[in-house]
Structure 1
Amino acid sequence: MQHIFRSFYLRLWLVLLAVLALFPAVAMAQQVQPQPGKQQDLAIATHAAPPFAMKDADGKWHGLAVDLWRGIASDMGLHYHFVDTDLKGMVQGVADGQYAASVGALTVTPSREALVDFTHPYYTTGFGIAVPKAPPNWLLLIRNFFTWNFLQAVLLLAAILLLVGFLFWLAERKANTDQFGGKTSSGIGSGFWFSAVTMTTVGYGDKAPVTWLGKAIALVWMFAAIIIISTFTGMIASSLTEGRLTGQIQGVSDLNSASVGSIDGSAAQDWLDEEGIAFHAYPSIEAGLAAVRAHQIDAFVYDRPLLVYRMRDGGEGKGLRLVPGTFGRQDYAFALPQHSAMREPMNRDLLTRIESRAWAARLKQVLGRE
């Protein structure tokens, strides 16, 4: 009998301990998964990312994402307050139960999806590449006349003309003293002049070889000059246009040979890693754009709409331009705890709002054609 009672009490204690162990989990579930309509003051994480999340002088948050959240929260009867955190905290804080949701320019990525659940995307975009503005073409052309490549081409051509002119002088200096005679410098100069006008097919007729050796050299030089002038024309044209191409980033393929900047821990970092592009980490968009202006890096890669807004309205785009086109793909969404009860009703409200004309007009007003 004692054995039976002892077994009964042991089982009773085990059941009681199991029930007590459930209380923290229930409390955490209530914190992570707030129910719509409950009068709770929810902590909502956000981070400054104009024009999606901005903080005014009075400390009030606004922006495309924040205002969209406000409308949805009002429809759902949610009570909340915003908490400023960093990009990492917007994801990890929701996963840890510190925040009920994260609102802002938060990109859906596989690594983040493993920690939290996302609503339907409210905005789809891609990455932009900010680079220095190129000087006008005519200025580049003039500047490239003084490049080392152009000077090399000219010096090499002059050396060949001088060598051929020297050969003409050797062949003609005794038998043709009227045209190639006189002092050594004068005779070689006449040979240089003759080789130049022959190569360019100008042929002034003021000088001509009279010896069989001079005529043979002239004949060989005429045919060789056709090849040489074509080659040097290409070299000179290349040296003049090289500055328009070198260092000018036109797309993703050009980033492999450029010095690139981005923000560590961002979706842009994941995209650059996938493309195999190394980058320098900067703490903010402002710091990255400043580095491009100072020619510390060749390009700064980040969310295109954020770059568009900063460079247009923030006054930070002076001397910079965006490479045409959008690269990669980004879906902005709200982050919620996994298996959140808010997700379904929030998705229904969100889809209704982003498909409205009012949302399209707001996007056009804030982002323009972007």
Structure 2
Amino acid sequence: MIRLILFFYLLSFCGNSYAQMKRDSVIQVGFTGSQPFVIPNTEADGISVDLWRDIAFQGGLNYELTHFKNVTSGLDAVKNQTIDVLVGPITINSDRAANVTFSQPFFETEMAILAPKIEQGFWDYVKPIFSTTFLFGVLGLIFALSIVGVLLWVVERNTLSPEGKHSTIRGIGNGIWLAIVTMTTVGYGDLAPKTLSGRVIVGVWMIISLITATSFVAGIATTISQIKGEDETITSLLHLEGRKVVVPDNEKIIDNITTVGGRPEPVADINEGFEMLSSGEVDALVYDVIALEYTYRGHDEDRFVLSKKNILPQNYGFAFYEASSLKRLVDIEILKQKESGEIQKVINRWVSSGE
């Protein structure tokens, strides 16, 4: 019995000693991703790096930072056990989870659309009046009024007006006038049908007007309301049809843009994409919403419109080779900082200071 107790004591001591050795050893930490989550310079910086520093401080961890050009190379280093953990805005998905282990998500994000604000000119305000729908509606109404006017002149040429007896054009004009005041229910009383046929025609026209006038006027009103002009600024995925769009080099995002008829242009990082958008090479930029907010702040913000439409929501986490005591420590610290709101404070600080 004493031997058994001594064995368990020795096992516990060895386990604690191993854990202490791991804590005293230098953890190899890779960092990668777009700003503001990772900003590579002489001293690594960014949201993800700040979060890792807080975790390391709370856990008493010693570490060395190594920058990787992209997420793919960083995940390969994790898989090959060149590094212990990869930090950054690393999207958690099934393909990556087959090769590495992810921490608790530290941020839930989405794609957003950044596009130039399109100012409308005079023609944009008046072109609805010249639309096919509007013109056909007006022409249809004129045609109907002309038919009624001619019919009234035919049956009322001797009584509609004295001029109607000798002037065809004047008589038809009076007939159209009667049709108009009848349709609009104005009823000036200057003209009125005297014959039975004329009253039948006017009566039928009254009924037709009641049935059709409301729909026609509603259509006219809708078209006129468009005189303000449609907002041609790209604000949703549906607006991307036929447009050239900068996107991350991500198969899922590329497929989504292609599905709505857009022409995706993959880029390595958001800075390259923003330069293409600013120079007019592309029509819109689809990227992580935080990265977009950080990048375009301080760059003539009035030129652009940022649209958040809950596009492709996804989670960011840190990557490990396998589940370990280090991953467990990171998971607990991430949950603590999410619960306390510290992560959101770090994000807000970086976004509000973006230049």
Q: TM-score range by the shorter chain?
A: 0.7 to 0.9
One-letter identity of the residue aligned with 1:61: A
Cα deviation 1:69-88 (Å, max 9, x = unaligned):
23334544333233241243
**How far, CA to CA, are the matches of 1:53 and 1:240 in structure 2?**
50
Query: What amino acid maps onto 1:236 in structure 2?
Result: I
Aligned-CA RMSD value? 4.1
Give runs of aligned pairs for residues 190-209 of structure 1, distance below 5 A. Answer: 190-209=174-193
- Match in the other structure for 1:310: 295
Q: Name the CA distance, whole Å, in 1 between partners of 2:234 and 2:119.
A: 14
After superposition, residues 179-258 of structure 1 pair within 5 angstroms as 180-241=164-225, 254=238
Match of 1:27 in 2: none
> Is the Cα–Cα contact under 8 Å of residues 234 and 240 in structure 2 kept in the other structure?
no
Query: Partner residue of 2:39?
Result: 54
Counterpart of 1:173 (choices 138, 157, 162) is 157
- Cα displacement (A) at 1:162: 1.9
User: Given the alignment of the two structures, is residue 95 of structure 1 paired with residue 79 of structure 2, yes or no?
Assistant: yes
Deviations, residues 119-156 of structure 1 (Å, cap 9, x unaligned): 112222333344665879x9977553343332332222
Q: Which one is further off, 93-102 or 155-164?
A: 93-102
Instruction: Give the TM-score, by structure 2 length.
Output: 0.73
Contact 1:311–1:318 at 8 Å: present in 2 too? Answer: no
Counterparts of 1:182 and 1:35 in 2: how far apart (Å)?
A: 113
Following superposition, the deviation at residue 193 of structure 1 comes to 1.8
Aligned partners of 1:239 and 1:280: how far apart in 2? 31
Q: How far off is 1:93 after superposition?
A: 4.1
Partner amino acid, structure 1, of 2:327 = R
Does the CA-based 8 Å contact 2:247-2:254 persist in structure 1? no
- Superposed, 1:31-110 pairs within 5 Å as 36-39=23-26, 42=28, 44-47=30-33, 49-55=34-40, 59-74=42-57, 75-110=59-94
Q: Quickly say closer, same or farther: Cα 1:200–1:80, change in 2 above 3 A.
A: same
Residues 18-52 of structure 1, C-alpha deviation per residue, up to 9 Å, x if partnerless? xxxxxxxxxxxxxxxx9553246x361412x2321
Output the amino acid matched with 2:101.
D
Gap change, CA 1:92 and 1:188, over 3 Å in 2: farther
In structure 2, C-alpha distance between the alignment counterparts of 1:277 and 1:72, rounded to whole Å: 41
In 2, Cα distance between equivalents of 1:143 and 1:319 = 25
| Native 8 Å contact 1:180 1:191 kept in 2 | no
SS in 2 for 1:62: coil
User: 1:177, CA displacement in angstroms?
Assistant: 4.5
For the 8 Å contact 2:163–2:170, the answer to whether it is kept is: no
Give the secondary structure class of the aligned counterpart of 1:345.
helix
Contact 1:36 1:342 in 2 (8 A): no
Distance 1:290 1:182, change over 3 A: farther
What is the Cα deviation at residue 222 of structure 1?
A: 0.8
Instruction: Using structure 1 for the length normalisation, give the TM-score.
Output: 0.70
2:306 is equivalent to residue 321 of structure 1:
yes
CA distance, structure 1, for counterparts of residue 279 and residue 182 of structure 2: 50
Distance in 1 between residues matched to 2:279 and 2:173, nearest whole Å: 50
CA distance in 2 between partners of 1:338 and 1:197 (Å):
84
Alignment match, 1:331: 315
Match of 2:95 in 1: 111
| Whole-angstrom distance in 1 between the partners of 2:282 and 2:81 | 40
Q: 1:163 aligns with which of 147, 160, 179?
A: 147
* Conserved 8 A contact 1:126-1:304: yes
Query: Quick one: structure 1 residues 140 and 349, their matched pair in 2 at CA, closer, same or farther if it must change by over 3 Å?
Result: same
Q: CA deviation at 1:228?
A: 1.7
What CA distance in whole angstroms lies between the structure 1 residues aligned with 2:349 and 2:241? 37
Contact 1:51 1:306 in 2 (8 A): yes
Please report how far the alpha carbon of residue 64 of structure 1 lies from its aligned counterpart in structure 2 after TM superposition. 1.1
Distance across 2 between alignment mates of 1:314 and 1:302: 17
Alignment-mate amino acid for residue 107 of structure 2: Y
Q: CA deviation at 1:224?
A: 0.6
SS in 2 for 1:54: coil
Farther-moved stretch of structure 1 (275-284 vs 287-296):
287-296
Would the alpha carbon gap of residues 347 and 204 (structure 1) be closer, same or farther in structure 2, given more than 3 Å must change? same
> Is the 1:107–1:267 Cα contact (8 Å) retained in structure 2?
no
* 2:91/2:316 contact within 8 Å kept: yes
